[in-house]
Amino acid sequence: MNKKYVLIIFIAFFSLNVSAQFTKYIVRFKDKTGTPFSINDPSKFLSAKAIERRAKQKISIDETDLPVVPRYIDSVRSSGNVIVLDESKWLNQVCIQTSDSAALAKINSFSFVVTTQPVKRIARIIERNQSEEKVSKDKFNEKISGITSPASSQQILGDYYSYGNSFAQIHIHNGEYLHNKGFHGEGMLIAIIDAGFYHYKTLPAFDSVNQRNQVIETYDFVDNEVSVNEDHPHGMMCFSTIAANLPGQMLGTCPNADFLLYRSEDASSESPVEEQYWIAAAERADSAGADVITTSLGYNLFDNPVFDYTYADMNGHTTMIAKAATMAARKGMIVLAAAGNEGETAWHFITTPADADSILTVAAVDASGNVASFSSYGPSSDGRIKPTVASVGSGTAISSTTGPIVSGSGTSFATPNLAGLVTCLWQAFPDLTNMQVIQAVEKCSSIYNDPDNRIGYGIPDFIKAFNDLNQQEILKHTTTILANKNIKIYPNPTKDQFTVLIKPENTATGTFRLYDARGKLYFTKQIPLQQNVIQLISFDKMQALQMGMYILKFSDGKNKESFQLIIQ
């Protein structure tokens, strides 16, 4: 199957007699000698937010951050009938359009040019029957249907949001737990790189996003223009899984984040030039200060078979787009990429950039956790665990092109659904690095100790992830929290959970009892204690208690202590 979007799509194969010529090329440069920019003054090429991200994660600003040397670009541009389309500072290259063979020869003669490589051709169709023409025009028939039975009936009435049809795809991750704790994406910036965001400005799912001006920037790298509102709907549907805000109908996983909407995919063709567009978009996201990149595009086979990849190329360091996705992770962003929908095709495996290193590659399951048959298989060709994790990509609630909420299938939808929750988790722990958050997501997943080649580490549970990271944060500050005491409650007051930090004076069984102000016993919890070893003992599900003051009593057989606990 000639891979375009990582959706379930049905494409008829056909053979064509064509005459063609290459028109777009990648020009790679040797170095950045003579650049007018300096890594000591990054404000000239990175936003304050991008610089802050690097500083927070102790990531050095290096030569890959420097823009391509302007005089190299000027020399290429003036070599003949050449248009410079865009550039990549990470890979030190530019994309050009030309049919001027003399100009190409001149470019190849430059001492600072490593190579020129074709990435696009224009094909003239000589023969095609009527039915094939229809397939060509309607190439991306997504598997989408109306929603008939909302899952909201299972929802807990105390949840912050009324999720409607999206409850199941959020609840499978216990994502509502993050929302209930106040993490909805505020202050976070998500870049979505896709094929277009058809009518996002007017569709009801995005009313809140538009009213609050949460779309910070849009850009179309295919047509070199600002607007993405009139292009393919695929990106809009992915966007809806994160940003929709229709209480009782559909809520996205991170509706209060800010967004960068970038088009890198040309729906009318398939060529490696789209990888370069993606790279330019990812670099722009980095420079703009994005925290998270989510992308539901994947490549393996192209219109021109000379460009086709093999499974051996899915090793994270062969394709341009995989190199760039890995670089984005090294710049401190969390990158999520769809695994692909090749599970039932001859290709079978993940597509690129899903093979990139240090990213979350997302497989598809249904709301019950069953693996979608179409979801691509791992591992990467060099043996790394791929996919990394899984989310709901079979029967996912999404916005339609006309407004109603519908059901769609594909790892395309699983990826942004998870991306929103990962963003909320990072919002809760902003001092963590991107890799610490990724590791927490992996660790909290359903088959972490026995990963496979279908869903990797499994389905993430964000209650587990939050509690694990919360305990790590507490441990990091144990000296301050405990001060001169052997036992302390943290935090206090609390809403729904608290942790007891204890450095026992002796090895024994510790008994905790919680009473209300009138002396009514609510629970007893016994924990084995080891002398002088700091332990964290978690107490959760305090939502069942009414607001007020409670007494937590502790005994280890020799010592007794009582503490006031405030439930807010």
- Position 143 scores a pLDDT of 67
Tens of pLDDT, residues 23-52 = 899 999 999 999 999 999 999 999 999 999
- Position 487 scores a pLDDT of 85
Domain with residue 93: its CATH number is 3.30.70.80
Is the pLDDT assigned to residue 1 strictly greater than 70? no
The answer to whether 426 touches 185, Cβ cutoff 8 Å, is no
Closest CA to 361 of 328, 377, 339, 346: 339
Instruction: Establish if 230 belongs to a structural domain.
Output: yes
Q: Tell me: do 454 and 511 sit in the same domain.
A: no
More confident residue, 126 or 528: 528
DSSP structure string for 144-185: EEE--S-GGGG--TT-SS--BTTHHHHHTTTHHHHHHTT-S-
Q: Which residues lie below 8 Å from residue 277, measured CB to CB, with a gap of 6+?
A: 86, 95, 221, 222, 263, 264, 265, 266
Q: Tell me: do 452 and 410 sit in the same domain.
A: yes
- Tell me the pairing of strands 535-539 and 548-555: unpaired
Q: Tell me: do 81 and 225 sit in the same domain.
A: no
**Domain end point (choices 471, 486, 519):** 471
DSSP structure string for 433-476: -HHHHHHHHHHTBTTTTS-BTTTBT--B-HHHHHHHHHHHHHHH
Cβ burial of 190 (10 Å; 0-12, 13-18, 19+) is: buried
Q: Tell me: do 74 and 155 sit in the same domain.
A: no
Beta strands in 35-81 (DSSP E): none
Rounded to whole angstroms, the Cα distance separating 304 from 95 reads 18
Tokens of 471: 């305990």
SS3 502: strand
Instruction: Establish if 10 belongs to a structural domain.
Output: no
User: In Å, how far from its chain's centre is CA 550?
Assistant: 41
Tokens of 254: 């991170």
Write down the pTM of the prediction: 0.84
Instruction: Establish if 270 belongs to a structural domain.
Output: yes
Domain with residue 490: its CATH number is 2.60.40.1930
- Position 491 scores a pLDDT of 83
Instruction: Establish if 143 belongs to a structural domain.
Output: no
Instruction: Establish if 136 belongs to a structural domain.
Output: no
Is the pLDDT assigned to residue 213 strictly greater than 70? yes
DSSP structure string for 187-229: T-EEEEEES--TTTTTSGGGHHHHHTT-EEEEEETTTTBS--T
**Domain end point (choices 471, 489, 522):** 471
Cβ burial of 449 (10 Å; 0-12, 13-18, 19+) is: exposed
The 10 Å Cβ neighbour count of residue 387 is 32
Containing structural domain, residue 548: 477-567
Q: Tell me: do 324 and 393 sit in the same domain.
A: yes
Tens of pLDDT, residues 148-202 = 444 444 666 678 999 999 999 999 999 999 999 999 999 999 999 999 999 999 9
- Position 212 scores a pLDDT of 97
Tens of pLDDT, residues 346-398 = 999 999 999 999 999 999 999 999 999 999 999 999 999 999 999 999 999 99
User: Half-sphere exposure (CA, 13 Å, Cβ side) for 86?
Assistant: 23
Least confident segment among 75-79, 456-460, 519-523 = 519-523
Q: Tell me: do 255 and 277 sit in the same domain.
A: yes
The answer to whether 285 touches 333, Cβ cutoff 8 Å, is yes
Least confident segment among 205-214, 335-344, 511-520 = 511-520
Q: Summarize the confidence of residues 238-245 as an average pLDDT.
A: 98
CA distances from 501 to 169, 191, 214 (A): 35, 39, 40
Beta strands across the sheet bearing 360-365: 215-220, 258-263, 189-194, 292-295, 334-338, 360-365, 389-392
Least confident segment among 198-212, 239-253, 316-330, 497-511 = 497-511
Tell me phi and psi for residue 193, to 5 degrees: -110, 120
Q: Tell me: do 104 and 166 sit in the same domain.
A: no
Q: Tell me: do 491 and 465 sit in the same domain.
A: no
The answer to whether 185 touches 287, Cβ cutoff 8 Å, is no
Q: Tell me: do 95 and 160 sit in the same domain.
A: no
Q: Which residues lie below 8 Å from residue 343, measured CB to CB, with a gap of 6+?
A: 372, 373, 374, 375, 376, 377
Rounded to whole angstroms, the Cα distance separating 123 from 118 reads 14
For the chain, give the number of residues.
568
Domain with residue 317: its CATH number is 3.40.50.200
- Position 122 scores a pLDDT of 52
**Residue 331 DSSP code:** T
Rounded to whole angstroms, the Cα distance separating 110 from 72 reads 9
CA distances from 200 to 124, 148, 209, 215, 410 (A): 34, 24, 9, 10, 20
Q: Tell me: do 107 and 214 sit in the same domain.
A: no
Q: Tell me: do 394 and 263 sit in the same domain.
A: yes
The answer to whether 496 touches 566, Cβ cutoff 8 Å, is no
Instruction: Find residue 532's DSSP bridge partners.
Output: none
The answer to whether 549 touches 517, Cβ cutoff 8 Å, is yes
- Position 146 scores a pLDDT of 67
- In the chain, % helix, strand, coil (3-state, to 5) comes to 30, 25, 45
- Position 241 scores a pLDDT of 98
Instruction: Establish if 6 belongs to a structural domain.
Output: no
Q: Tell me: do 428 and 505 sit in the same domain.
A: no
Tens of pLDDT, residues 128-156 = 222 222 222 233 434 676 664 444 446 66
Instruction: Establish if 276 belongs to a structural domain.
Output: yes
Domain count, the chain: 3
Tokens of 150: 């909302």
Q: Summarize the confidence of residues 326-331 as an average pLDDT.
A: 98
Is the pLDDT assigned to residue 568 strictly greater than 50? yes
Instruction: Establish if 139 belongs to a structural domain.
Output: no
Q: What would you measure as the largest C-alpha separation in the chain, in angstroms?
A: 92
**Domain end point (choices 110, 125, 140):** 125
